[in-house]
Amino acid sequence: MAKRPAPEPYKIKMVEPIRLISRQDRQKALEKAGYNTFLLDSQDVYIDLLTDSGTSAMSQEQWSALMRGDEAYAGSASFYRLVEAIKDVFGYPLVVPTHQGRAAEHLFFKLALQPGDIVPMNMYFTTTRHHLELAGGIFYDTICSQAHDTASTFKFKGNMDINKLEDLYQKRGERRFPVVVMAPNVNMAGGQPFSLGNLKEVFQWCREKGIKLYLDITRIAENAYFIKTREEGYQDKTIQEILREICAHSDGAWMSAKKDGLVNIGGFLAFHSHEQELFEKCRNEVVVYEGLHTYGGMAGRDMDALAQGLRDVCSFEYLRARITQVEYLHSLLDENNVPLVHPCGGHGVFLDAAKFLSHLDQDEFPAQMLAAQIYLEGGIRSMERGNVSAGRDPQTGKNRRPKLELVRLTIPRRVYTQSHIEYTAEAIVRCYQRRDKIPGLKFTYEPKVLRFFQARFCPLSCKKD
């Protein structure tokens, strides 16, 4: 029997109506969207599990903080409150605000890299790799091998493989190797955490070689929860202590605050004091792309809501309710033999579309079609994280055919109830029961960059080409 989630440490004060349109209308909506869940109108979606990004519900303290927003163009008091919160929660004293995560990635890679530089990461994220490559960097995936095996129940599938790092370093030739990037709760691996033990080892390795270690701390609080509950020696530490310990083993970080920042928009770059030089470069450049260095694309009120969100997210009771809710969905599906990424990650449940639709070739986009079918079945919106997201290899022009072909059911924070979760599981089980009849897809329109956002498809049997 699936284990019920831990009770939430909050109750609901305001509700937002949602509606389920008929199956016939869902079919029409799906065709209009070219079988791409990114192109559905939210009014046609019943339960929206497209992303956990910017979709959280704010607390009453955050809504109150909005009212304190100082909208001064320069030197806003909200900015100083945000800097204070980042220093308290993560221990980084130097902050450059940005409107969201990819803006921080843009500035970071543009200013930290030179063309031809090698950058290893514990798996890729779409926008991260794109900005890294735009800056002329060469991305390498050095995550541990278990991360590519959906059946492996290793507790820390977000770990970096030091041997792969060392090997890459030995083979670097004339190329520069200035920075290693690690992301907590690795998104594309299924929301899988790294252990503090692994991070410390990588940090030590980087220090010995004079290489910087930067973190993408987008889902750091959820990783801290897994460290507390899974890693020996951390049971008695608070979430905040663990967060500080993670960040102490880095030179700096960036965050898409739309996830663990518990806000609808926001992001930042943050540095330890020895990174003053890179901080100053980023602070100079932020005015070109984002806004003055004391708001960087966020309104004053957004910065205040984020400052409060960073304090809210340190609550163990909140994180436990959040993650056990995700685990509940995982076990309801697992009980019905639906192929999943194991163990359950932090921000969502990832379906193994390659196994779910095993009769399809990866170039028939099984994950893209499965996401479309889940919408048709229950009005539930999910996201492809497979061959479409991975794009084409710039050298060969062929689909990258990544090892993981997944559908992500991402759970917004503090938004859906237990019955929504049960409803979702039932709809997916019905899709699984009729899986043999589900055909593959082909492109009818393929954008050149980050194609998954706007691509259009039709079932392989359709005439359009």
Q: Please report, as ranges, the residues that interact with ligand F0G according to CB under 6 A.
A: 51, 53, 100-102, 125, 127-128, 183, 187, 216, 218, 256, 258, 267
Question: For the chain, give me the number of helices (H) and strands (E)?
Answer: 16, 14
Q: Per the residue annotation, which of 81, 102, 129, 259 is the catalytic one? A: 259
Spatial separation of the C-alpha atoms in residues 368 and 399, rounded to whole Å:
14
Q: Per the residue annotation, which of 26, 385, 413, 442 is the catalytic one? A: 385
Among this protein's residues, is 259 annotated catalytic? yes
Within 13 Å and on the Cβ side, how many CA atoms surround 101?
Answer: 25
Q: Per the residue annotation, which of 35, 92, 452, 457 is the catalytic one? A: 452
- Is the separation of the CB atoms in 86 and 95 below 8 Å? yes
Q: How far is the CB of 461 from ligand F0G (least distance, A)?
A: 30
H or E segment at 407? strand 406-410
User: Residue 258 or 420: which CB sits closer to ligand F0G?
Assistant: 258
User: Residue 297 or 379: which CB sits closer to ligand F0G?
Assistant: 297
Among this protein's residues, is 73 annotated catalytic? yes
Among this protein's residues, is 37 annotated catalytic? no
- Is the separation of the CB atoms in 281 and 111 below 8 Å? yes
Among this protein's residues, is 126 annotated catalytic? yes
Within 10 A of 114 (CB to CB), how many other CB atoms are there?
11
Q: How far is the CB of 411 from ligand F0G (least distance, A)?
A: 12
Spatial separation of the C-alpha atoms in residues 233 and 10, rounded to whole Å:
29
User: Residue 187 or 325: which CB sits closer to ligand F0G?
Assistant: 187
DSSP 12: -
Q: How far is the CB of 101 from ligand F0G (least distance, A)?
A: 2
Q: How far is the CB of 109 from ligand F0G (least distance, A)?
A: 12
What is the bridge-based pairing of β-strands 383-385 and 406-410? antiparallel
Q: Per the residue annotation, which of 98, 126, 410, 424 is the catalytic one? A: 126
Q: How far is the CB of 108 from ligand F0G (least distance, A)?
A: 11
Task: Output the residue with the shortest Cβ distance to ligand F0G.
Answer: 101
User: Residue 100 or 223: which CB sits closer to ligand F0G?
Assistant: 100
Q: How far is the CB of 342 from ligand F0G (least distance, A)?
A: 20
Spatial separation of the C-alpha atoms in residues 446 and 457, rounded to whole Å:
9
Instruction: Kindly give, in sequence order, each residue whose CB lies less than 8 Å from that of residue 409, ignoring residues fewer than 6 positions away.
Output: 49, 329, 348, 349, 350, 351, 374, 380, 382, 424, 428
User: Residue 216 or 304: which CB sits closer to ligand F0G?
Assistant: 216
User: Residue 62 or 187: which CB sits closer to ligand F0G?
Assistant: 187
Among this protein's residues, is 443 annotated catalytic? no
Among this protein's residues, is 452 annotated catalytic? yes
User: Residue 191 or 440: which CB sits closer to ligand F0G?
Assistant: 191
Q: Per the residue annotation, which of 46, 90, 125, 295 is the catalytic one? A: 125
Could you tell me which residues are beta bridge partners of residue 214?
181, 252
Q: How far is the CB of 267 from ligand F0G (least distance, A)?
A: 5
211-228 burial: b if 16+ Cβ within 10 Å, else e: bbbbbbbbbbbbbbbbbb
Q: Per the residue annotation, which of 44, 52, 141, 216 is the catalytic one? A: 216
Among this protein's residues, is 139 annotated catalytic? no
- Tell me phi and psi for residue 429, to 5 degrees: -65, -40
Residues acting as catalytic residues: 73, 125-126, 216, 259, 385, 452
